[in-house]
Amino acid sequence: MGEMSERSVPGEGLVKGLAVTLRTMTRRSTTQQYPDVAPELPPRSRGVIALLAENCTVCMLCARECPDWCIYIDSHKEEVAVPGAARPRQRNVLDRFDIDFSLCMYCGICVEVCPFDALYWSPEFEYAEYDIRDLLHDKDHLGEWMATVPPPPAHDRNGEPAKEEATAARRAAAPGGPAARPAPARVRPEPRPAAGRPAATEGPAADPGAAP
């Protein structure tokens, strides 16, 4: 009897499937007319990685942290003459910054670890190619995606304040902070006595007719 109760009734799966079909038949279908109508993407969509080459210092942090090793960076050093310095300084000049999107898994680690805000997420996703080798985007192509990067969202009033704001508030609330430290009082200099005339003494003037 136990085995008979565990067996399914013949046609039970068909009935369940038809029940799902009847429920969906009464609902109104929603079809997005893509590509004629652009889809409404979430504000933090991960489409393509854009590069702001002016902020890149060739620290190689993004390439080292990439789990797929799909970022290729080349650079050279140049000497910059600084007025007043004993010797010229050196700086890194970016020559090559390529991202192979055929290997990228869109984890966002490179965007997060960049200390100079040189990499940004763009919601643009229409960059399919017929040849997989064309998915290797150079720095010029990545720089063109900066025009599609949305502005940062407004700061949440109920969220955590920025590190700069928290540091300034902590310093102001400290016992020796700028807010707790009183402003120095401006001391008015005393007038110097004229030559041959004794300096005036503080206190009430002495009555010449008073008894000693």
Q: What does pLDDT average to over the chain? A: 82
> Distance between CA atoms of 121 and 111, rounded to whole angstroms?
7
In this prediction the pTM is 0.59
Asked if the structure places residue 97 within a domain, the reply is yes
The pLDDT of residue 177 is 58
Please tell me which residue, 132 or 4, carries the higher pLDDT value: 132
CA distance 74 to 204: 85
State the pLDDT at residue 119. 96
Residue 181 in domain: no
Residue 212 has pLDDT above 50, yes or no: no
- Mean pLDDT, range 135-161, rounded to an integer: 87
- pLDDT at site 3: 53
> What pLDDT band is residue 183 in, cutting at 50, 70 and 90?
low
Q: Give the pLDDT confidence score for residue 168 in this predicted structure.
A: 85
**DSSP-derived secondary structure letter, 204:** S
Residue 106 belongs to domain with CATH number: 3.30.70.3270
Give a yes or no: residue 189 inside a domain. no
At residue 174, the pLDDT reads 81
What's the pLDDT band for 166 if we cut at 50, 70, 90? confident
For the CA atoms of 86, 87, 88, 90, the dihedral, rounded to the nearest 10 degrees, stands at -120
Q: Reduced to 3 states, what is the DSSP secondary structure of residue 187?
A: coil
Residue 67 within a domain: yes
- Give the mean pLDDT of 176-182: 57
Q: What are residue 92's phi and psi, to 5 degrees?
A: -85, 130
Q: In this predicted model, what pLDDT tens digit does every residue of 35-66 receive, in sequence order?
A: 888 888 887 788 999 999 999 999 999 999 99
184 within domain boundaries = no
Contact 100, 136 (CB under 8 A): yes
- Asked if pLDDT for residue 32 goes beyond 90, the answer is no
Domain assignment present for residue 96? The answer is: yes
Q: Residue 84 is part of which domain span?
A: 48-147
Q: Is the pLDDT of residue 210 over 60?
A: no
**More confident site: 157 or 204:** 157
Q: How many domains, in total, are found in the chain?
A: 1
User: Is 32 a member of any domain?
Assistant: no
Residue 54 lies inside a defined structural domain of this protein: yes
Q: How far is CA 5 from CA 2, 14, 151, 153, in A?
A: 5, 19, 62, 58
**Over pLDDT 70: what percentage of the chain?**
79
